[in-house]
Amino acid sequence: MKNGYYGEWGGAFIPEVLHETFAQLNAAFEDARRDPTFWEEYRALMANYSGRPTPLTYADKLSDELAGARIFIKREDLNHTGAHKANNVMGQGLLVKRMGKTRVIAETGAGQHGVACATMAAKFGFECTIYMGEEDVERQRPNVFWMEKLGATVVPVTDGARTLKDAINEAFRDWVTNMDTTHYVLGTVCGPHPFPALVAWFQSLIGIEARQQILEQFGRLPSRVYACVGGGSNAMGIFQGFLDDTEVELVGVEAGGLGVDSGRHAARLASHDASPGVAQGYKTMFLQDDDGQMLDTHSVAAGLDYIGVSPILTDLWQKGRVRFEAATDAEVMAALERTMQREGDHPGPGVGARLCAGVQGSAATQPRSGDHHQHVGPGR
């Protein structure tokens, strides 16, 4: 990374009024990264409050059924609040304390990031406002209930498609108005610098743990690591544990909706529908028309229907380090049912990472259709 860029992607395209706020955030983040006691405090918080490390579970029945690979599931659903989102928000909560701010705001799609942020705010004593697209409010009503019970104010956003991208826009408007007291807890590895680097740093716990666990349990590195990709925080979390292991293939799975040829999907890098653009403070591949207007997206999974993707992942895709595929709504629902019935594992929003270790040679010898049965979740 150089000046907030990953290759040609990233940057910080922000209004002048936010420059000082971002300078303060950058300084706090860099100070924390240089301070070993901060990371120790963070690790202790996640161990004693959130329950880390999360287990790596061998899916024996699925492995037998999909002969050709042994499948291990990194169980982020057992993290506090039921998803990987707690890793990021608790870390940012510690940064908010360092900066002396008293209020946090966040966007959410599926509601997992919103619940995690509301939980963090309650623990640290911050005022909390969560922006959520009106459509997502309706389809994720239980998470709205928990955010409100935790003391957060949930604001339905009625602009645009009334989903995640619109919630992000509304959160930025709030931040411009209240930046002296407020920190925006961005939920994924997108947005203007330093958010991609900051969120990836906190989520790296997933990959650090997973690499150690697979070596202890299986005695070798996996042939492939799979993760679903909305904005990309779950994927970056686990991929970071294996980026330097070039023999490990990294596979990001995007929301294929009704099919990548249907126009009703959210596959940015696994389709030919995305193009380079600048929006919401950074440069990446967006689903947009020839005039740069953002397209409507679709996914059965709220939060995975985001129009863009992390600039870090876009760079890794462009360099050929991460392969991207798409899974349709129907494939995801079939995989959900299959996993629940074979493993007794409810792969909800927090279960996003799968490790495949080869049995008969490399796991790459599996039929390609098997790819779509090893990822479910997480949402945002």
Sign of CA dihedral 277, 279, 284, 289: negative
Q: Is the pLDDT of residue 105 over 90?
A: yes
Q: Is the pLDDT of residue 259 over 60?
A: yes
pLDDT tens-digit readout, 34-86? 999 999 999 999 999 999 999 999 999 999 998 888 999 999 999 999 999 99
Same fold, 6-43+85-195 and 53-82+204-373: yes
Where do we find the tokens 């705001």? 105
Is 182 buried (19+), middle (13-18) or exposed (0-12) by CB count in 10 A? buried
How many other CB atoms are there within 10 angstroms of residue 338's CB atom?
Answer: 17
Q: Which helix (H) or strand (E) holds 275?
A: strand 274-279
Task: Report residue 213 as tokens.
Answer: 């666990």
Identify the band that residue 302 occupies on the pLDDT scale cut at 50, 70 and 90. confident
Q: Is the pLDDT of residue 378 over 90?
A: no
Q: Report cis status (omega within 30 of 0) of the bond before 53.
A: yes
Q: Is the pLDDT of residue 364 over 60?
A: no
pLDDT tens-digit readout, 202-221? 999 999 999 999 999 999 99
- If you compute the radius of gyration of the chain from its CA atoms, what whole number of angstroms results? 19
Sign of CA dihedral 67, 239, 74, 195: negative
Cα 364 to the center of its chain, rounded Å: 25
Torsion angle (degrees, nearest 10) of CA 159, 274, 315, 313: 50
* CATH code 3.40.50.1100 for 6-43+85-195: yes
**Residue 328 CB partners (closer than 8 Å, separation 6+):** 256, 257, 258, 259, 265, 372
Nearest Cα residue to 289 out of 281, 299, 280, 277: 277
Identify the band that residue 375 occupies on the pLDDT scale cut at 50, 70 and 90. very low
Domain range annotation of the chain? 6-43+85-195, 53-82+204-373
Q: Is 34 helix (H, G, I), strand (E, B) or coil?
A: helix
Sign of CA dihedral 53, 58, 62, 63: positive
Sheet harboring 69-74: ordered strands across? 56-59, 69-74, 353-358, 224-228, 249-257, 322-328
Task: Report residue 156 as tokens.
Answer: 């339905």
Identify the band that residue 353 occupies on the pLDDT scale cut at 50, 70 and 90. low
The identity of residue 43, as a single letter, is: R
Of the CATH numbers 2.60.40.1190, 3.40.50.2000, 3.30.70.260, 3.40.50.1100, which one belongs to the domain with range 53-82+204-373? 3.40.50.1100
- Please give the full DSSP string across 64-83, using - where no structure is assigned: HHTTTEEEEEE-GGGSTTSS
Query: What does the pLDDT read at residue 110?
Result: 81
Sign of CA dihedral 148, 151, 153, 154: negative
Q: Is the pLDDT of residue 15 over 80?
A: yes
272, 133 Cβ separation under 8 angstroms: no
Task: Report residue 221 as tokens.
Answer: 């590195």
3-state secondary structure 203-237: HHHHHHHHHHHHHHHHCCCCCEEEEECCCCHHHHH
194, 25 Cβ separation under 8 angstroms: yes
